[in-house]
């Protein structure tokens, strides 16, 4: 399968990106963004196309995406106006708190942090996730960052091995507190890669 990694999310791929994001993270985000119809309505508008790289095939079909967070924003910022439009004012108020916690759990707010990596289920195990990760590393370096960091579920050993193969080193275990209760993950492992060596 031939594909290319490109910076940014074109508007015409927003519906596919929202669905892919939801499919990959519905078990973690279902309590906050569900049900599916509302989640997709919100994500189609909220995803920040500037804060990602995508994998697409020769026909332009979305195969995967990788979002990131810097001090300038994140892939899914949780815009309050959009939360209100989809979930109502009360629903938006507590969801806003979730997005605040999500953005501020980053151990180094000024760094380049991987937000998410999601690959179409039918296209997994073809190197797309690894290519997206390398695309993020190249983008981070081009933006002047010396490091790129990510957090991974402490129990997800397969993902930890993948990241280690790509030069990520274990940095610290992070207790997520209330955010962990919402996501269903109490602890994550923060890993970091030096982009200058």
Note if the pTM is more than 0.75: yes
pLDDT of residue 94: 93
pLDDT at residue 109 tops 60: no
pLDDT of residue 116: 94
Secondary-structure percent of the chain, ordered helix, strand, coil, rounded to 5: 45, 25, 25
DSSP, residue by residue, 100-145:
HHHHHT-SSTTSEEEEEEEE-GGGTTSSHHHHHHHHHHHHHHHTT-
pLDDT at residue 104 tops 80: no
Q: Which domains does the chain have, with CATH numbers?
A: 3-145 (3.40.630.30)
CA distances from 89 to 86, 96, 103, 173 (A): 9, 10, 21, 35
pLDDT at residue 20 tops 80: yes
pLDDT at residue 108 tops 70: no
pLDDT of residue 11: 96
* Residue of 141, 142, 152, 153 lying closest to 194 (CA atoms): 141
* 197 band by pLDDT with thresholds 50, 70 and 90: confident
pLDDT at residue 47 tops 80: yes
CA atoms of 176 and 182, how far apart (whole Å): 10
Instruction: Determine what percent of the chain is predicted with pLDDT higher than 90.
Output: 81
Please, are residues 51 and 73 in contact by the beta-carbon 8 Å criterion? Answer: yes
């Amino acid at each position: 399968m031939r594909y290319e990694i490109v910076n940014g999310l074109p508007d015409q791929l927003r519906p596919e990106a929202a669905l892919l994001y939801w499919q990959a993270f519905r078990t973690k985000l279902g309590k906050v963004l569900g049900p599916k119809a509302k989640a997709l309505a919100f994500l189609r508008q909220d995803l920040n196309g500037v804060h990602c790289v995508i994998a697409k095939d020769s026909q332009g079909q979305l195969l995967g995406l990788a979002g990131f967070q810097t001090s300038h924003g994140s892939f899914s910022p949780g815009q309050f106006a959009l939360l209100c439009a989809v979930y109502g004012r009360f629903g938006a108020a507590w969801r806003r708190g979730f997005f605040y916690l999500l953005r501020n759990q980053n151990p180094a707010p000024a760094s380049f942090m991987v937000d998410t990596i999601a690959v179409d289920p039918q296209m997994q195990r073809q190197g797309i996730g690894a290519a997206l990760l390398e695309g993020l590393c190249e983008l981070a370096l081009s933006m002047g960052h010396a490091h790129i960091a990510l957090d991974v579920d402490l129990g997800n050993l397969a993902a930890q091995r993948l990241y280690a193969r790509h030069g990520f080193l274990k940095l610290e275990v992070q207790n997520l507190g209330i955010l962990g209760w919402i996501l269903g993950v109490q602890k994550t492992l923060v890993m970091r890669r030096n982009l200058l060596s």
